[in-house]
């Protein structure tokens, strides 16, 4: 399937805080999202940041968010603007697949009214009622969600669906997102409650695996370069995160044809020549 990777804004923090072996200097962490060309049109995988995050951070507990994570996003960098630049005549946005309910993934949802939004049932159950300090702690900003989202949500259970033949061994517990065997959602526990990843066949015969925040950067896969301990404070389940990273390491060893895309990785963004990540 045809696919593209984009950046919708970024944030900065000390590299050494995020990754073992990282430098003690500020590093840019882009808020990446993807678009996959399905039989229904372009499906977005997350939406990155949008300027409405900055507005929402002017009141209440969320004033603390930019102090921890300085966000940079302009109106021309949003998912909807990025998509406008590639949509050809007659092409449509088929919907959004949301890997998890974090501000840097959900901020663009309001720019895509009416389309269906696929998300994990567990992720939604854990996020839907969060308000105030609890929402900040969980990095989910309720004001970013469209009011009619509950009617548009297509909740996914990754249980007993039959995996298509191209799905790598060991990843058959998942959900057939469109019901046609082209998009396979899998649980990636640890980073956020109910986080999902999305797999699909690549144009060159391999498999693309959008792992989103299961690892922030591709170098977490290197031996000795996992997340450093401060990441624990923004991680839902630290042990599950390490188990997930171990599974991803094994997958890379066994299946080098599976291309993993973390959503805050500048190296990946540069390799794929993502606009704004030069
Ligand atoms: Zn996240």
The per-residue pLDDT for range 11-69, each reduced to its tens digit, is 988 888 777 878 888 889 999 999 999 999 999 999 999 999 999 988 899 899 888 88
Taking residue 97's Cβ as centre, other Cβ atoms within 10 Å add up to: 29
Per-residue pLDDT at 246 exceeds 90: yes
* DSSP structural state of residue 19: B
Span 84-129, pLDDT tens digits: 999 998 888 999 999 999 999 999 999 999 999 999 999 999 999 9
Q: What integer is the mean pLDDT of 178-204?
A: 96
Q: How far is the CA of 53 from the centre of ligand 1 (A)?
A: 15
User: 198 forms bridges with which residues in the sheet?
Assistant: 185, 210
pLDDT for residue 65: 87
**CA–CA gap between residue 121 and residue 126 (Å, rounded):** 9
Q: How many residues does the chain have?
A: 278
Q: How far is the CA of 94 from the centre of ligand 1 (A)?
A: 23
Helix segments in 109-167, DSSP class H? 121-127, 132-137, 149-152
Q: How far is the CA of 89 from the centre of ligand 1 (A)?
A: 33
Per-residue pLDDT at 147 exceeds 80: yes
Cβ atoms 90, 82 nearer than 8 A = no
Per-residue pLDDT at 208 exceeds 70: yes
Q: How far is the CA of 276 from the centre of ligand 1 (A)?
A: 21
Q: How far is the CA of 118 from the centre of ligand 1 (A)?
A: 16
Q: How far is the CA of 213 from the centre of ligand 1 (A)?
A: 5
pLDDT for residue 162: 86
Mean pLDDT for all residues in the chain = 93
Q: How far is the CA of 250 from the centre of ligand 1 (A)?
A: 22
Q: How far is the CA of 102 from the centre of ligand 1 (A)?
A: 5
pLDDT for residue 130: 93
Band (pLDDT 50/70/90 cuts) for residue 160 is: low
Convert 42-60 to b/e letters by CB count within 10 Å (16 or more is b): bbbbbbbbbbbbbebbeee
Q: How far is the CA of 6 from the centre of ligand 1 (A)?
A: 16
Q: Domains (ranges, CATH) in the chain?
A: 3-271 (3.60.15.10)
**CA–CA gap between residue 50 and residue 35 (Å, rounded):** 17
pTM equals 0.95
Q: How far is the CA of 104 from the centre of ligand 1 (A)?
A: 7
Q: What is the DSSP string of 49-104?
A: --THHHHHTTSGGGGGHHHHS-EE--GGGSHHHHHHTTPPTT--EEEEE-S---HH
Per-residue pLDDT at 261 exceeds 70: yes
Q: How far is the CA of 181 from the centre of ligand 1 (A)?
A: 27
Q: How far is the CA of 191 from the centre of ligand 1 (A)?
A: 7
Q: Tell me, rounded to whole angstroms, the distance of Cα 169 from its chain centroid.
A: 23
Cβ atoms 28, 175 nearer than 8 A = no
Cβ atoms 94, 70 nearer than 8 A = no
Per-residue pLDDT at 230 exceeds 70: yes
What percent of the chain clears pLDDT 70, i.e. is strictly above it?
A: 100
Q: How far is the CA of 223 from the centre of ligand 1 (A)?
A: 22
Q: How far is the CA of 90 from the centre of ligand 1 (A)?
A: 33
Q: How far is the CA of 100 from the centre of ligand 1 (A)?
A: 7
Pick the more confident residue, 90 or 172. Answer: 172
Q: CA 98, 100, 101, 105 torsion: positive or negative?
A: negative
């Amino acid at each position: 399937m045809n696919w593209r990777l984009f950046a919708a804004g970024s944030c900065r923090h000390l590299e050494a805080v995020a990754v073992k072996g990282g430098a003690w200097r500020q590093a840019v962490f882009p808020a990446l999202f993807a678009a996959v060309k399905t039989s229904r049109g372009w499906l977005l995988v997350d939406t990155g940041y949008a300027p409405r995050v900055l507005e929402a951070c002017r009141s209440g507990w969320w004033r603390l968010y930019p102090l921890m994570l300085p966000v940079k996003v302009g109106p021309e960098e949003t998912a909807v603007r990025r998509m406008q630049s590639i949509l050809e005549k007659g092409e449509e946005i088929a919907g959004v697949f949301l890997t998890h309910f974090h501000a840097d993934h959900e901020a663009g949802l309001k720019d895509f009214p009416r389309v269906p939004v696929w998300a994990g049932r567990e992720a939604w159950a854990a996020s839907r009622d969060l308000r105030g300090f609890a929402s900040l702690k969980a990095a989910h900003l309720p004001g970013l969600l469209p009011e009619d989202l509950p009617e548009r949500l297509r909740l996914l259970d990754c249980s007993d669906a039959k995996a298509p033949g191209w799905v790598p061994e060991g990843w058959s517990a998942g959900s057939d997102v469109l019901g046609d065997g082209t998009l396979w959602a899998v649980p990636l526990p640890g980073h956020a409650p109910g986080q999902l990843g999305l797999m699909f066949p690549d144009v060159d015969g391999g498999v693309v695996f959008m792992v989103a925040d299961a690892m922030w950067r591709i170098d977490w896969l290197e031996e000795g370069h996992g997340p450093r301990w401060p990441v624990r404070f923004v991680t839902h389940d630290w042990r599950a995160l390490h188990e997930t990273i171990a599974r991803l390491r094994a997958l890379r060893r066994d299946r080098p044809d599976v291309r993993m895309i973390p959503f805050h990785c500048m190296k990946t963004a540069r390799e794929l020549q993502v606009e704004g990540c030069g």
